[in-house]
Amino acid sequence: MLAGEPYRVDAELAAEAVRCHKLMDVFNATASDDHEGLARALADLLGEVGQNAAVRPPLHVDYGHRITLGEGVFVNFGAVMLDVAPIRIGAHTQMGPNVQLLTPTHPLDPAERKAGWESAEPITIGENVWLGGGVIVCPGVSIGDNTVVGAGAVVARDLPANVVAVGNPARVIKQL
């Protein structure tokens, strides 16, 4: 699964998901003014949380422990991070509301989909990146340091460092 090979959800993965969803429920139910409680719940839910990282609930994840947030990361309301494969978010990255980071993929062949086969590819987001509201990052994508992705963009391919990208699919429109 983590190597991008096809897999089917088994009892172990289902148990991991149940554990994660209980932790996610705690995080999402924590009062917004309980900063210590939010930090504790986030640390329990995610694999690594850098110093001064902040996530505004609600947050929706598959397993949680495959997500790494660097120092000073900010994630706004409504993020979806499907971490079947690892998701790494570099220091000081900012994400607008309703951003989706999607690592799972499904076969094109209908019989394989019906049989429950899936795979996943990791997502890596560099340092000091800004993802505007509603950005969708597809499986296997890397986004370079200091890059800005405009609201509503769908990032289906890697983006280099120090650019502005917009649209569906996301296209580089400016060097920074």
Within a domain: 4: no
Q: Which domain holds residue 147?
A: 11-175
- Indicate which CATH number applies to the domain containing 86: 2.160.10.10
Query: Would residue 106 show up in a list of annotated catalytic residues for this protein?
Result: yes
Q: Which residue of the set 35, 65, 92, 106 is catalytic?
A: 106
**CB of 131 within 8 A of CB of 125?**
yes
* pLDDT tens, residue by residue, 127-145: 999 999 999 999 999 999 9
Burial class (CB in 10 A: 0-12, 13-18, 19+), 116: exposed
Within a domain: 2: no
* pLDDT tens, residue by residue, 75-129: 999 999 999 999 999 999 999 999 999 999 999 999 999 999 999 999 999 999 9
> 151 or 3, which is more confident?
151
Within a domain: 156: yes
* pLDDT tens, residue by residue, 38-72: 999 999 999 999 999 999 999 999 999 999 999 99
Structural domain count, the chain: 1
Within a domain: 3: no
Q: Which residues contact 141 (CB under 8 A, 6 or more apart)?
A: 123, 124, 155, 156, 157, 158, 159
Within a domain: 35: yes
Within a domain: 29: yes
